[in-house]
Amino acid sequence: MEDGKFRPVFDGHCDTATRIAAEANFDIGKRHSGGHIDIPRMKEGGLNAQIFAVHTDPDYPEKLWEEKTFRAVDIFKRAVEANNEEMKIALRGGDITGIIGGGRIAAVIGVEGGHVVSSIDVLKRLYEEGVRCLTITWKNTNTIADSSEDRKRWGGLSGFGCEIIEMMDRLGMIIDCSHASREAFFDVLERSSNPVILSHSCMSAICDIPRNTDDSQLLALAENGGVVCVNYFPAFLEEKSHRDIMKIWSVYRNKKSILSRRYGGDPDRASNELRPAAVRKLRELTMPNLSLVADHIDHAVGVAGVDHVGIGSDFDGIPLTPKGLGDISFLPDLDRELRRRGYSAADTGKIMGGNLLRVTSAVCG
């Protein structure tokens, strides 16, 4: 609430659900010194709605993808239920409004990476289990669509991908095109009758890398009625940080994939062995500050309009954050930076959550 009025603060993407599934003793209800998100810090930062993405690493054997995804969804739902006085799963936009109005945090379940969706039946089962958002690709091209960060197989969506998009529209699932290739993004907009999102993406006009969003996409997204949610990862915010970070992070990811295969398809074991040293090297780098996140928001607003921009932190999925945005509790500082730049309270209300709630309500009911 703000000045007696309803004010959703709604983040489009975090990987905390994946962390919960991976760490047996992680309790989202308790404050943690590591990572970026837990209930105490969400409350401190004023966040009252979040899309929690479940991610299954494609370095696992393909036969395990479905099982691990459904297991992670179940673990996350149980974690929310264990903290039901503070948080509740939302299945519709109306649920989010009611949950926030009751003083709790609304949790929307997403799945990041369409490689785990091997059939229409799997998609339907995910929906039945409470999943309301699917990021159609990750860093890997899959049977649904090409990734922006991998070889191009389909030239956009595959035939199966077109079927998936149509079924998502029918079910009422949010289509997320972050990570997808530019061609796949435009194929989705041509195929879908619903507004879509880019849940955690930055602007290529500021940082020109394949993972980011160009102005033609922003204009098309505005026409579609969708929302781009700006990512906080420094590697996507500026080209120098991208070069510095990827010199370390790309080497780590390649070594992890190789070691995972050597361990019989166990990326968690490989990550536990390799990630700490890579993160130590990354933390020696100088990071940009939160004003650069505001720059990306400014650019997106300037092209797409204030009704089509949101926030998508990627917290608990990124190894580094900008100075001044160390975790979700710092979120009010980003709001203040936007107000300092001349945004009205109504406009920051849209950016900080109102726009994403509008799309969620339009798609999920």
Q: How confident is the model at residue 1 (pLDDT cuts 50, 70, 90)?
A: very low
Residue 3 falls within a domain, yes or no?
Answer: no
CA–CA dist 90, 96 (Å, integer)? 6
Residue 5 falls within a domain, yes or no?
Answer: no
CATH code: domain of residue 128? 3.20.20.140
Do residues 139 and 180 touch, judged by C-beta distance below 8 A? no
Q: How confident is the model at residue 25 (pLDDT cuts 50, 70, 90)?
A: confident
Do residues 236 and 242 touch, judged by C-beta distance below 8 A? yes
Rounded mean pLDDT of the chain?
Answer: 96
Q: Can you give the residue range of the structural domain that contains 268?
A: 240-287
Look up tokens 């780590």; give the residue. 252
What are the backbone dihedrals phi and psi of residue 15, each rounded to the nearest 5 degrees, phi first? -110, 20
Residue 18 falls within a domain, yes or no?
Answer: yes
In three-state secondary structure terms, 88 is strand
Same domain, 119 and 251: no
Listed range (19-28, 41-50, 76-85) with the worst mean pLDDT: 19-28
Distinct helix (H) and strand (E) counts, the chain = 15, 9
* Alpha-carbon distances, residue 178 vs 118, 134, 136, 203, 302 (angstroms): 20, 10, 8, 12, 20
Mention every residue, 6+ apart, whose C-beta is less than 8 A from residue 264.
none
Structure tokens at 356: 């994403």
Same domain, 152 and 233: yes
Residue 2 falls within a domain, yes or no?
Answer: no
Same domain, 296 and 339: yes
Contacts 24+ apart (CB under 8 A), 185-190: 185/217, 185/220, 186/156, 186/217, 186/220, 187/145, 187/156, 187/157, 187/161, 187/162, 188/136, 188/145, 188/157, 189/220, 189/221, 189/224
The CB-side HSE value for 326 (13 A sphere, CA atoms) comes to 7
Q: Return the bridge partners of 258, or none.
A: none
Same domain, 141 and 250: no
User: Which of 259, 287, 315 is the endpoint of a domain?
Assistant: 287
Same domain, 299 and 282: no
Residue 4 falls within a domain, yes or no?
Answer: no
Same domain, 28 and 160: yes
Look up tokens 């079910």; give the residue. 171
Q: Are strands 105-112 and 49-55 parallel, antiparallel or unpaired?
A: parallel
pLDDT in tens, 129-177: 999 999 999 999 999 999 999 999 999 999 999 999 999 999 999 999 9
Q: Which uninterrupted H or E stretch holds 229? A: strand 227-230
Same domain, 55 and 193: yes
Q: How confident is the model at residue 115 (pLDDT cuts 50, 70, 90)?
A: very high
> Whole-structure pTM over 0.85, yes or no?
yes
Same domain, 203 and 224: yes
Q: Look at the alpha carbons of 278, 79, 232, 130 in this order and tell me if their dihedral is positive or negative.
A: positive
pLDDT in tens, 210-265: 999 999 999 999 999 999 999 999 999 999 999 999 999 999 999 999 999 999 99
First to last CA, the chain: 22
CA–CA dist 52, 200 (Å, integer)? 12
pLDDT for 5: 57
Same domain, 264 and 329: no
CA–CA dist 163, 111 (Å, integer)? 18
Same domain, 232 and 255: no
pLDDT for 3: 39
User: Which of 287, 315, 344 is the endpoint of a domain?
Assistant: 287
Residue 264 falls within a domain, yes or no?
Answer: yes
The count of structural domains within the chain is: 2
Dihedral-angle region of residue 103 (phi above 0 means left; psi in -120 to 50 means alpha; beta otherwise):
left
In three-state secondary structure terms, 80 is helix
Same domain, 74 and 124: yes
Residue 102 falls within a domain, yes or no?
Answer: yes
Structure tokens at 123: 């998609």
pLDDT in tens, 29-79: 999 999 999 999 999 999 999 999 999 999 999 999 999 999 999 999 999
Same domain, 169 and 263: no
Q: Which uninterrupted H or E stretch holds 65? A: helix 62-81
User: Which of 230, 252, 287 is the endpoint of a domain?
Assistant: 287
Residue 96 falls within a domain, yes or no?
Answer: yes
Written as one string, the DSSP assignment of 253-296 is HHHHHHHHHHTTS-HHHHHHHHHHHHHHHHTTSPPPBHHHHHHH
CA angle 253-118-146, nearest 5°?
50
